[in-house]
Structure 1
């Protein structure tokens, strides 16, 4: 599983605030197209995001759930996109002197994508996660400007 990382001048609390707002999920997760619901307690363990993936009219309703959380530092998710399968996604925030280094690690854990060799599967995941971290950083930087 390859790690993708990105530095942002946004403070860790600004990055975490984006992650902690489940309604922002389609704003930074590549492929997520809309939110349908966020369960109370997001991003606590067991909480779920009900989202859709794809583009109209070919959208699939699915969900992402929290497996583990260390508030402000680490979030482990199970992201489903059936019938494609499910993935384990780990996001970690590393405070820096002037911002935050955000890391994301992801790999399939079920579904037909497991039939692909890991290097081929990871190529697509890495490209998608680079863009996801770019979007996440932009949202956090905007939030950071708004608060201070």
Structure 2
């Protein structure tokens, strides 16, 4: 698992508000380019985001589904991006006096991405998720709309 974290100067509730609005997913998740549909139950267990990844005209339509959800504290996702494979992503939110600490852990779980050596996956996933947390912080600290 590749884990990155960031102190965010807003409450866990403000971060959760961004995460739990599936339509905002491409606003903070690097690589997600557009939403096609958000299951009404998002972010409940089993709910899915139907999104596209990549840049037009090379867009891939796929889904991300909720494996585990503890409102305001943790969200575990299965992110699909075929033909590259699938990954597990765990987002944790921990209250701090100045706001919260958000950690994002991710690793490939199946498909060709799992065949990439660990150090190379770390070099690819780490910077991407660092930027994702920067975007999440911006939305939570400045209002998501």
TM over 0.5: yes
TM-score (norm 2): 0.97
Contact between 2:76 and 2:88, CA under 8 Å: does it hold in 1? Answer: yes
- Provide the rounded CA distance (Å) in 2 between the counterparts of 1:76 and 1:106: 10
Please list the CA deviations of residues 79-99 of structure 1 after superposition, one character each: whole Å capped at 9, or x if unmatched.
001100010000000100010
Residue equivalent to 2:88:
88
Tell me the secondary structure at the aligned position of residue 77 of structure 1: strand
**Deviating runs (4+, > 2 A) in structure 1?**
none
Q: Which runs of 5+ in 2 are unaligned?
A: none
Contact between 2:46 and 2:65, CA under 8 Å: does it hold in 1? Answer: yes
Residue equivalent to 2:33:
33
- Provide the rounded CA distance (Å) in 2 between the counterparts of 1:25 and 1:95: 22
- Provide the rounded CA distance (Å) in 2 between the counterparts of 1:130 and 1:54: 18
State the Cα RMSD in Å: 1.1
Residue equivalent to 1:3:
3
CA apart distance, 1:2? 2.7
CA apart distance, 1:118? 1.0
Tell me the secondary structure at the aligned position of residue 46 of structure 2: coil
Residue equivalent to 1:60:
60
TM-score (norm 1): 0.95
Residue equivalent to 2:15:
15
